[in-house]
Chains A and B, each alone.
Chain A
Amino acid sequence: MTYFPEEVVEHIFSFLPSHSDRNTVSLVCKVWYEIERLSRRSVFVGNCYAVRPEQVVRRFPNVRALTVKGKPHFADFNLVPPDWGGYAGPWIEAAARSCVGLEELRMKRMVVSDESLELLARSFPRFKALVLISCEGFSTEGLADIASHCKHLRELDLQENDVEDRGPRWLSSFPDSCTSLVSLNFACIKGEVDSASLERLVAKSPNLRSLRLNRAVSVDTLSKILLRTPNLEDLGTGNLTEEFQTESYLRLTNALEKCKMLRSLSGFWDASPACVPFIYPLCHQLTGLNLSYTPTLEYSDLTKMISRCVKLQRLWVLDCISDKGLQVVASSCKDLQELRVFPSDFYVAGYSAVTEEGLVAISSGCRKLTSLLYFCHQMTNEALLTIAKNCPNFIRFRLCILEPRKPDATTNQPLDEGFGAIVRECKGLRRLSISGLLTDKVFMYIGKYAKQLEMLSIAFAGDSDEGMMHIMNGCKNLRKLEIRDSPFGDGALLGNVAKYETMRSLWMSSCNVTLKGCEILASKMPMLNVEIMNELDGSCEMEENSVDPSRVEKLYVYRTTAGARDDAPNFVKIL
């Protein structure tokens, strides 16, 4: 194809849907490499330390959309110490120097400072979209800079970030000339919000399709806003606890009824059961519903609402819905594709109103289910076998039995057979999280059957190194492996070292790997960063006498072209 003019080749490349496809064509020959890199518009960096920011912006100077992910997944659960890293600064600075055309930035689990946000706002005149997920390190002042300087801002999406509240001025910082907002999500902002500013902003944003408010927004403000957004598709409500005044809620229903395009509903912060009937008129058109921040709604309120949502595809709830409630979901929501059931009680391991029965009911009623996150009190092999048979289309299957190492609730056996059935039947499975009592056998099954598996999360499972070896040798497409509190040691770590080059990362914490094993790994595989973390702050005071000091508490291994990073804190040792 080298006799085609460059523009033609470039045009052909533009049809390639995925990053990996484009990566592949760039390897064909130098000409293609050059064409591909100069025409690349979107770059995805799965691990911010796998490559230097300067390398990325040098290779792809015309990038418009950049996605970068920072901390390992287990950072979500406080397993990664603070100040570990994942700084957005170097990325934003590198882009500011070399890619003036940047329009979109998406970051997940990174530390973003207000200075970086200001630099971002000032450096890219065409900047359109900022999406921050599970990030930290910035305040509402940084957001004010984004609002005031990004004249063409279309999307400001803040999901579950830890944002320091420095006042509501950020919302008033959008200039009058800014009329381009399509998506605004500030649900995670903790502080007060100026209602008048919010109403003004909404009034001048005719293209607004997605709006997620925070807990500070009142019912009346919500009603006023909704009257201005008849084309809204996705809504996150504000506060619905207000002392119940029928007129307010009637106004709300009227406003909601005008939103014929509304498909997705979330928020419901502290919603009182009395407000639920006012949502009923909307239910029949909803495809997405998130009630997982509403512990105040009980089983009966939830089912009354959900039974009306016949088109529902995505449902997030708390386990107070109970097995009975899940049966209602199963009989009402035949199009359900994604279900997440979160625990309402974190302090008592094991108690939940949701068991294997709820999931079996769901599986028999919702045959289109592909994505599951399910926290429950107990599980059985028989139930898992039934579920696997009913729903062979699972892509994501994450099961968390609240009590670690809990066996089959009826037979007291390990749950190996149940999970074995899942991996055997669900041939398209890409993500799996296992829990309960599990021996090496379950890993044998996973290694044997889960050929499409890309991400595996293991906790309190397995008997010996053999377990992990099954995974390392069997799962050909594995990209991310994260393990905690399982008896895998150096034998498993070193059993297939070449595999790590094909993976994004490995996390092991509270396992049996030793310093020696990690050193061997580092010396055998120079293209990996082997990071070990041993906290020195006394959190292991009870362990000191009984634990082998050469045992590595936390291990994070990832492939990289960037070498050892220079921003590591003192509790991180890179071998």
Chain B
Amino acid sequence: MAGLGFEETELRLGLPGGNDAEEATRSSGKRAFEETIDLKLKLEQPACPTENEEDEEAAAADVIPAAANSLSSPAASVATGGGNMKRSPSQSSVVTAELPDPEKPRAPKYVLLHLLCMPLLHRVMLKHAVGWPPVRSFRKNIQSSQKGAGAGAAALVKVSMDGAPYLRKVDLRMYGSYHDLSKALEKMFSSFTIAGSCGSQGMKGMNETKLADLLSGSEYVPTYEDKDGDWMLVGDVPWEMFVESCKRLRLMKGSEAVGLGHSEGDGEMQEQMLRNAYLHASGISCKDTALLFYVS
């Protein structure tokens, strides 16, 4: 173990994107997309071979989905045969990590802890190589214009809020961003919370800020069920991708949202992750943990 140079590795706990401890432990129940993608991978050329072969795959999956609407122009894409890990430009919000070449050794300087909510992130976002996947531009153009035009059926999804007497339905295609959606949900469910919390008093005592706090603070966590039937935290993936894959929405009460990256659960999450970190470091494969990181 000594040879791995643990003293050089830097364990980061908490939400990605934070380089300092305060940022890492700051809670934000509503994970806006902008926060999650500000990921800086600092990796150097390999100095010593890695001992953990599993890390190859772990590294591959170790990337947070970035802005899908940055349709990477060919000029910006990099297609190399070697697959060296590259530092992502701080301006671009696209993480430029290519899959590591299995035969080349890696020894990054930083250990990166990736906070995930359940289920395990199985989608890998690569700054894609030019011409991959190999689909004719004609087809790509047609499909992007179909998506852009919002063609097809409205993306109607049921929205449930824990404690509310009945569900609502929203058309996700009516909104352009998470922000718009959250505003709409706030409006939609304000009647419940007002009635619930104020009883016969009506609007008194309830205002927009309080409701926003309710929704984006520690009380409610917005989650959604995706195409695979898994419950995900709202805000991780680019908006368009979310609209495509969201089947229903659930505003979960905070107490039920443990393990979803919820603010109050952070302490428990961090402890679990530390445990997993050591497990992984000692070579024990933990494919199913909510944690992926890269050890030199």
Chain A residues in contact with chain B, CB under 8 A?
74, 76-79, 134, 160-162, 188, 241, 270, 272-273, 292-293, 295-296, 342-351, 353, 375, 400, 402-405, 407, 412, 433, 437, 457, 459, 463, 484-487, 509-512, 537-540, 542-543, 546-547
Contact = CB atoms under 8 A, between A and B. Distances in A.
Interface string B43-79: 0000000000000010010000100100100111111
Nearest 10 CB-CB pairs, A to B? A296-B152, A77-B131, A160-B138, A347-B68, A270-B151, A539-B75, A510-B81, A485-B81, A79-B131, A350-B124
Given A270-B146, A346-B143, A353-B227, A485 B79 contact: yes
Given A162-B137, A487-B81, A542-B78, 19 more contacts: A76-B136, A77-B132, A160-B138, A161-B138, A270-B146, A270-B151, A292-B139, A296-B151, A349-B126, A351-B123, A400-B133, A405-B99, A405-B102, A510-B79, A510-B81, A511-B81, A537-B75, A538-B75, A539-B76
A272 to B, nearest CB: 6
Contacts of A76: 134, 136-137
A343 B133 CA distance: 8
12 contacts: A74-B131, A160-B136, A270-B151, A292-B139, A293-B146, A296-B151, A403-B60, A404-B99, A457-B134, A487-B81, A510-B129, A546-B84
A304 B78 CA distance: 42
Contacts of A538: 75
Interface in B122-176: 122-126, 128-140, 142-143, 146-147, 149, 151-153
A433 B133 CA distance: 13
Q: Is the interface of A mostly helix, strand, loop or mixed?
A: loop
B275 interface: no
Contacts of A457: 134
B133 A350 contact: no
Nearest to A407: B57
B80 A295 contact: no
Nearest to B70: A347
B74 A78 contact: yes
Interface in B252-276: none
B139 A342 contact: yes
B80 A459 contact: no
Nearest to A76: B136
A543 B75 CA distance: 12
B296 to A, nearest CB: 20
A486 B78 contact: no
A117 B140 CA distance: 27
B131 A241 contact: no
A485 B131 CA distance: 11
A295 B74 contact: no
Contact of B131 (A78, A161, A353, A512): A78
Contacts of B227: 353
Nearest to B100: A405
Given A134-B138, A463-B103, A349 B133 contact: yes
Contacts of A537: 75
Contact of A348 (B76, B123, B146): B123
B135 A77 contact: yes
Contacts of A344: 143
Contacts of A539: 74-77
B133 A375 contact: yes
A15 to B, nearest CB: 37
Contacts of B149: 270
B35 interface: no
Contacts of B10: none
A241 B128 CA distance: 32
B128 A342 contact: no
Given A78-B74, A402-B133, A349 B128 contact: yes
B23 interface: no
B208 interface: no
B86 interface: yes
A181 B46 CA distance: 65
Given A344-B143, A345-B244, A459 B99 contact: no
A537 to B, nearest CB: 7
Determine which residue in A349, A402, A407, A543 has the highest number of CB atoms from chain B within 10 A of its CB, and name it. A349
Interface string B95-131: 0100101110000000000000000001111101111
B284 interface: no
A423 to B, nearest CB: 20
Nearest to B54: A412
B78 A272 contact: no
Given A76-B137, A403-B124, A404-B99, A459 B143 contact: no
Given A349-B128, A350-B124, A351-B123, A273 B153 contact: yes
Contacts of A346: 128, 133, 135, 140, 143
A350 B241 contact: no
A437 B102 contact: yes
A188 B138 contact: yes
A540 B74 CA distance: 10
A512 B244 CA distance: 39
Contacts of B143: 293, 295, 344, 346
